[in-house]
């Protein structure tokens, strides 16, 4: 049960709500603080009790709404917050009208390499730098990234180019070190339902870039975002990166419908990663254009100076020249389909 | 095994090839006639025999190429024909640069209704009229269309508006009557592997609009097109209309990657049907824009003057006003992404 | 809307129902004749009209039940007919307690070959002979079977062994010739929603063996069976043969849950084909045992005297020795799990 | 690259291998210690270097084999260890011939409740007790279990009944406390690719019960097991619990083929969880029988004394009576299909 208080309501009003809960043996957690206090009752309750409490608390002073839902999201929803969220990191915004492009290699391989690609994507017009220092690998014997050394290289590339850094964090114990160097904390597709990790990044004051699991429905993606929001971190970016289907021509099937669906359901910005979805670089430009036309707030694109020599995922990386050509198309397209992005068409 | 003769080769050269086959007890069928003769050997052969014959026949006079493939397509491939196919019907073209929009109701419900919607979509700028007279229905107890009466209404609407008609044919025995009224014969998703029906429309001289099965891979779609082409009908349009996945927010998942993949593999035009994929009208405009940006040659969109009163699929139909608004966006978008469609980007 | 009349009701009672419908501009088709008349109203109706009519007709004399459903099955349901259907063909039964095994090669390749395998599977204890004379092939250039010659060989093998023949019919125009030679008409997975073909076999007096489409839901399978039943042919066997998923280790994923689900929903017999599901012969015995344990009424198993030399699907065929070993396990297993099959456990 | 030393090889031989690696700037990690030393080189190498090193190291004294693979499993494979692994926990074995049944509620709800169900399932013949103290929940607002209090109740129920406890661990920081109370550490489907967690349980000396992700391939499941094995914990149980497909009748589709496939690929024991796959209790018995017939080493079944009052997953729980009836069928079935389980049939 979620209880939404009126803005700037007196503390006493909150106290009265808590009192009613306490009498029934229930506690509440603070989901968001004043001026707009939101309380959550996490205990499961019998339907009869839910009904009784909903009526009772709705009637209390300064209570705006009581949402008696169970397995559903709230803080991520358009009903909760109508205006689009603009996530800010390293002086840049993502969401709310402008198209943002996150570009860079799959993994940081060397100091020189990441600096070179950062300068290249910046010249081509990218807004954020991506690059993995901690890499999730299906096999325990694959290259797992440079770790903290990779983070230092990313931070240096960021200083030199002014591009904020998006990079993945794989484990709860790595959250502090990644947060020290990165501007945006990425949760990878395999960890979309690693709830301990979601709560750990929910306690940081850095934005979270949350990738949809290969197997996750859009509702599950929103519920995972809710884990971060419920911990008090309102800066979440959602990323569609392909789902598993029977079609073998692509690594995953880019679910382009996710863009207009998410834009309707949530105020959070929506980014598309065509590189991981397709798994083949020759498909990336067409999918990137499609994502922007469908209303995505941003793109995440893998770029490598020499894709054929990359240590991971080279097959799907654009080289700097192809990335530059793509960027030339994106800007006028974003301008043209802006009204769509602003929701006029939907 | 497919044997490709040089253009305008002498009949004697074809005879020598047939002679070599006959000696080994094999026959050949004529896949395409002079001036560019293509022969197909449909018997399955042991690998050793394939190898022997490939060498032997390749060496004969006027043989351009021998393709020793088994379960693969040939006539639909870019290798076979590099320049894009432009399908022509009722004075209009589809494929090869211009964007074509096919619009109309799911089913023809009445003479007045189909005329009204035909006039409406024509004014909004559509190029073809769609409408079902024979409806495939999952349940035997659902409305199955008006049959020949519906075809007559479609033909009248076509005469009044100048829009060529695309309509579905469900069974081999209906092919003649549908071909009498329609400009383009549609094969629905459920019939994509109804091989008898594919061969029947392959013997007509009307273009075929072939929808991808809900469960079909892109290779299977191309092989189904090959059934039509192999019967001598070169006018096939491919249509992506969504595939089955686990995501419940849409009726099917539009596989947007199908567009750039098919454009690379085949010379046939590629159309996207966002209405059947999404199953919800509010998603149609975003998906339509995405399809054009990804390089589709055309769109098939369901339009109904009063969607809420439609006898089938009203939930996914745009009304005339929403369709008109969408058309206003499509033209500049197609112009902008034309270079993508022409293949520059891929 | 389905209207179920009481057994042996007077014709006048049926007339009164039709009269009520006619007054509202509705017709009815006869779904099943006397003594148990069932009428179907196929026009789609507004909810208000459905409600009004349901009340009105329920109140008429000799009307047992009015089912106001739209896209749902009726004749196939347990509610309509509680006792299990036993399909009879060539003196054998399938359904209702005993386990039936259908065995034979994918395709009939020669007279001698099919006679040899028929004798082999009969000795091992099989109850029906399978073998394809008309083969659906994804590519137009693959071997498509011997046609009527193959049917003659099947009929001869049947005479010599006493095993009734199950064989596929691909097209409406082939139904008469296949029905002349075969005991059971198979509808393949690709044709599960070829409604014209379903209606054509629904007009035969031979049992129909209906395979689930690779991506069909169980409800769709039941609705396809309903097409056959609604034409007056009550002898339908359902067959689970694997569905498409993302798992690459098997050709398709055998949906074993289909067995208990279908047994609960329908009175029709349920057969499992582990050979086509797995695509690998080494998995067939384990899946066959699982199917029987789950309560299947029968199995369809591919057997070839020399699998490595088969012209199609050899990879999944058991040889006669392996088939014989499997049959030795099946009988005691069927005895042991008989109570499960009889529904005690569910 | 994996380097397998001969049993009881001298330390000097290992040193020589390490020396060769060091000269090329490569390190090695110890995958398994003496007497059968296994070394892993995790750096990615150019194909030429792999080839050179494979030849060189294969030729060294006491090197039994060099496996130059990249993204593949090794320690889990049948090639590495032919005889089946029997996992031992709390005095019971799982794997290697006998059927083991793990039963209990979804979540521990109270001390009395878990003791009651433990006594009930033990009387019915279960071998292990399951029950969740830390529950992964899609929504942050759902009941997440009793935590350490739940673990204490489980341990008490285990003492009273003698049944070893299988319970889930959700986060790296909870591993010590769960390992203190539990006999077997469960990794849930959502965490199958939480690599940090896999490595954390790989460092424990308790068996690990690893559930397949809802959309994980079998190869990915084996690679996740490899994470645990590579950390030195050889006691891993694999569990098939259903995968995501388009079929809505079941929560997930039980992939029964996983049983014979895994039994062929790996020496690790394979358990099936029909309760989570089906999501409906009426399907559980048929699926449980099918799993045993297919050769599963064990079953995990949800049992609740009063399913309709359960706080989670009651819809799929058997009550004690239904569980008892099922157990009565399982033993003779396991005896009958024992030869299948022993691999005779495959």
Instruction: For C178-212, write each residue's pLDDT tens digit.
Output: 999 999 999 999 999 999 999 999 999 999 999 99
Half-sphere exposure of D309 (CA within 13 A, CB side): 8
- Token pair listed for A242: 């392909």
- The residue ranking higher by pLDDT, C315 or D293, is D293
Please give the distance of CA A243 from its chain centroid, rounded to a whole number: 16
Same domain for D22 and D167: no
Asked if B257 lies within 8 A of A215 by C-beta distance, the reply is: no
Cα-based distances in Å from B235 to B205, B228, C278: 8, 9, 37
Is residue B346 in some structural domain?
A: no
Residue C301 with chain D: CB contacts under 8 Å: none
Q: Per DSSP, what are the bridge partners of residue A253?
A: A243
Residues D120, C304: Cα–Cα separation, whole Å: 50
Asked if D138 lies within 8 A of A172 by C-beta distance, the reply is: no
Residues A274, A336: Cα–Cα separation, whole Å: 21
Residues C39, C36: Cα–Cα separation, whole Å: 10
Asked if D244 lies within 8 A of B246 by C-beta distance, the reply is: yes
Residue A72 with chain D: CB contacts under 8 Å: 139
Residues D320, D304: Cα–Cα separation, whole Å: 7
Asked if D196 lies within 8 A of A170 by C-beta distance, the reply is: yes
Residue A244 with chain C: CB contacts under 8 Å: 246
C-alpha distance from D189 to closest chain C C-alpha (Å): 16
Task: Look at residue A133 and tell me whether its pLDDT is greater than 80.
Answer: yes
Task: Look at residue D71 and tell me whether its pLDDT is greater than 60.
Answer: no
Chains touching A (at least 3 CB pairs under 8 A) are B, C, D
Is residue A72 in some structural domain?
A: no
Structural domains counted in chain C? 2
Asked if D244 lies within 8 A of B244 by C-beta distance, the reply is: no
Q: Which of D46, D136, D139, D248 best tests the A interface by mutation, with the highest count of A CBs <10 A?
A: D139
Query: Minimal Cα distance from D326: which residue of C?
Result: C345
Query: Minimal Cα distance from B253: which residue of D?
Result: D246
Question: Which CATH number is C33's domain given?
Answer: 3.30.70.1140
Q: Identify the domain boundary among C20, C35, C67.
A: C67
C-alpha distance from C245 to closest chain A C-alpha (Å): 5
Size of interface A-C (CB pairs under 8 A): 6
Asked if A246 lies within 8 A of B249 by C-beta distance, the reply is: no
Residue D248 with chain C: CB contacts under 8 Å: 217
Same domain for C119 and C32: no
pTM for this structure?
0.81
C-alpha distance from C129 to closest chain D C-alpha (Å): 23
pLDDT at position D180: 96
Give the domain range for residue D209: 87-341
Shortest CB distance from C257 goes to which of D253, D264, D345?
Answer: D253
Q: Mean pLDDT over residues A140-154, rounded?
A: 87
Q: Are C212 and C192 in contact (CB under 8 A)?
A: yes
Instruction: Give the orientation angle of helix C11-23 with respect to helix C47-58, to 10 degrees.
Output: 150
C-alpha distance from A232 to closest chain D C-alpha (Å): 13
Shortest CB distance from C226 goes to which of B140, B194, B230?
Answer: B140
Is residue B82 in some structural domain?
A: no
pLDDT at position A344: 47
Is residue C73 in some structural domain?
A: no
Residue B132 with chain C: CB contacts under 8 Å: none
Same domain for D27 and D115: no
C-alpha distance from C131 to closest chain B C-alpha (Å): 18
C-alpha distance from C185 to closest chain A C-alpha (Å): 30
- Token pair listed for D238: 């694999």
Query: Minimal Cα distance from C220: which residue of D?
Result: D247
Query: Minimal Cα distance from C253: which residue of A?
Result: A246
Is residue D30 in some structural domain?
A: yes
Same domain for D146 and D17: no
Q: Which residues of chain B have pLDDT under 70?
A: 31-33, 42-48, 68-73, 311-313, 339-346
Give the residue among A142, A178, A154, A175 at the shortest CA–CA distance from A102: A154
Asked if A244 lies within 8 A of C244 by C-beta distance, the reply is: no
Same domain for C236 and C195: yes
Question: Quick one: what percent of chain A has pLDDT higher than 70?
Answer: 92
Query: Minimal Cα distance from C230: which residue of B?
Result: B140
Query: Minimal Cα distance from C279: which residue of D?
Result: D257
Asked if C70 lies within 8 A of B195 by C-beta distance, the reply is: no
Q: Which of B144, B189, B195, B216 best tests the C interface by mutation, with the highest count of C CBs <10 A?
A: B195
Helices (H) and strands (E) in chain C, counts: 12, 14
C-alpha distance from B255 to closest chain D C-alpha (Å): 15
Q: Identify the domain boundary among C16, C38, C67.
A: C67
Is residue A78 in some structural domain?
A: no
Same domain for A134 and A235: yes
Q: Per DSSP, what are the bridge partners of residue B87?
A: B94
Query: Minimal Cα distance from D251: which residue of B?
Result: B246
Residues C62, C59: Cα–Cα separation, whole Å: 9
Residue B173 with chain C: CB contacts under 8 Å: 172-173, 196
Task: Look at residue A287 and tell me whether its pLDDT is greater than 70.
Answer: yes
Question: Quick one: what percent of chain B has pLDDT higher than 90?
Answer: 60
Is residue A79 in some structural domain?
A: no
pLDDT at position C149: 94
Question: Which CATH number is C278's domain given?
Answer: 3.20.20.70
Q: What is the pLDDT of residues B293-322, one digit of tens each?
A: 999 999 999 999 888 777 666 788 999 999
Same domain for A164 and A21: no
Residue C246 with chain A: CB contacts under 8 Å: 244-246
Same domain for A49 and A176: no
pLDDT at position D62: 87
pLDDT at position C341: 56
Size of interface A-D (CB pairs under 8 A): 123
Chains touching B (at least 3 CB pairs under 8 A) are A, C, D
Q: Which of D217, D256, D295, D329 best tests the C interface by mutation, with the highest count of C CBs <10 A?
A: D256
Asked if D282 lies within 8 A of C294 by C-beta distance, the reply is: no
Q: Which of B215, B251, B256 best tests the A interface by mutation, with the highest count of A CBs <10 A?
A: B256
Asked if C226 lies within 8 A of B170 by C-beta distance, the reply is: no
Residue D244 with chain B: CB contacts under 8 Å: 246
Shortest CB distance from A215 goes to which of D140, D142, D215?
Answer: D215
pLDDT at position D70: 46
Q: Which residues of chain C have pLDDT under 50?
A: 70-71, 344-346
Residue D290 with chain C: CB contacts under 8 Å: 256, 259, 290-291, 293-294
C-alpha distance from C90 to closest chain D C-alpha (Å): 31
Chains touching D (at least 3 CB pairs under 8 A) are A, B, C
Q: Are C3 and C38 in contact (CB under 8 A)?
A: yes
C-alpha distance from B95 to closest chain A C-alpha (Å): 17
Same domain for C178 and C308: yes
Same domain for B254 and B163: yes
pLDDT at position A290: 96
Residue B230 with chain C: CB contacts under 8 Å: 140-141
Same domain for C256 and C126: yes
Residue D190 with chain A: CB contacts under 8 Å: 193-194
Q: What is the pLDDT of residues A44-77, one digit of tens each?
A: 666 667 777 887 888 888 888 787 654 356 788 8
Chains touching C (at least 3 CB pairs under 8 A) are A, B, D
C-alpha distance from C255 to closest chain B C-alpha (Å): 15
Same domain for D107 and D7: no
Task: Look at residue A31 and tell me whether its pLDDT is greater than 80.
Answer: no
Which 3-state string (H, E, C) describes chain B?
A: CEEEECCCCCHHHHHHHHHHHHHCCCCCEEEECCCCCEEECCCCCCHHHHHHHHHHHHCCCCEEEEECCCCCCCCCECCCCCCCCCEEECCEEECCCCCEEEEECCECCCHHHHHHHHHHHHHHCCCEEECECCCCCCCCCCCCCCCHHHHHHHHHHHHHHCCCEEEECCCHHHHHHHHHHCCEEEECHHHCCCHHHHHHHHCCCCCEEEECCCCCCHHHHHHHHHHHHHCCCCCEEEEECCECCCCCCCCCECECCHHHHHHHHECCCEEECHHHHHCCHHHHHHHHHHHHHHCCCEEEEEECCCHHHCCCCHHHCECHHHHHHHHHHHHHHHHHCHHHHCCCCC
Shortest CB distance from D215 goes to which of A2, A142, A244?
Answer: A244
Is residue D328 in some structural domain?
A: yes
Asked if C217 lies within 8 A of D248 by C-beta distance, the reply is: yes
């Amino acid at each position: 049960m979620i209880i939404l208080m009126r803005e700037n309501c007196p503390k006493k009003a909150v106290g009265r709500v808590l009192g009613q809960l306490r009498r029934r043996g229930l506690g509440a957690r603070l989901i968001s603080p004043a001026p707009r206090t939101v309380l959550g009752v996490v205990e499961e309750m019998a339907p009869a009790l839910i009904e009784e409490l909903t009526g009772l608390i709705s009637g209390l002073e300064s209570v705006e709404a009581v949402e008696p839902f169970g397995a559903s999201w709230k803080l991520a929803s358009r009903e909760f917050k109508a205006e689009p969220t603009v996530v800010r990191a390293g002086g840049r915004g993502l969401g709310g009208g402008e198209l943002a492009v996150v570009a860079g290699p799959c993994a940081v391989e060397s100091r020189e390499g990441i600096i070179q690609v950062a300068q290249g994507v910046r010249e081509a017009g990218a807004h954020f730098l991506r690059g993995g220092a901690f890499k999730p690998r299906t096999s325990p014997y694959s290259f797992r990234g440079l770790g903290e050394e990779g983070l230092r290289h990313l931070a240096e590339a960021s200083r030199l180019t002014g591009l904020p850094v998006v990079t993945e964090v794989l484990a709860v114990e790595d959250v502090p070190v990644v947060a020290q160097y990165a501007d945006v904390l990425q949760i990878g597709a395999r960890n979309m339902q690693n709830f301990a990790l979601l709560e750990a990044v929910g306690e940081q004051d850095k934005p979270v870039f949350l990738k949809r699991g290969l197997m996750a429905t859009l509702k599950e993606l929103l519920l995972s975002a809710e884990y971060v929001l419920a911990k008090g971190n309102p800066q979440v970016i959602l990323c569609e990166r392909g789902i598993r289907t029977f079609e073998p021509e692509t690594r995953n099937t880019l679910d382009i419908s996710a863009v207009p669906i998410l834009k309707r359901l949530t105020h959070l910005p929506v980014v598309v990663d065509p590189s991981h979805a397709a798994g083949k670089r020759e498909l990336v430009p067409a999918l990137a254009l499609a994502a922007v036309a469908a209303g995505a707030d941003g793109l995440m694109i893998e770029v490598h100076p020499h894709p054929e020599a990359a240590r991971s995922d080279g097959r799907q990386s654009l080289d700097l020249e192809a990335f530059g050509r793509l960027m030339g198309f994106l800007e006028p397209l974003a301008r043209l389909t802006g009204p769509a992005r602003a929701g006029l068409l939907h």
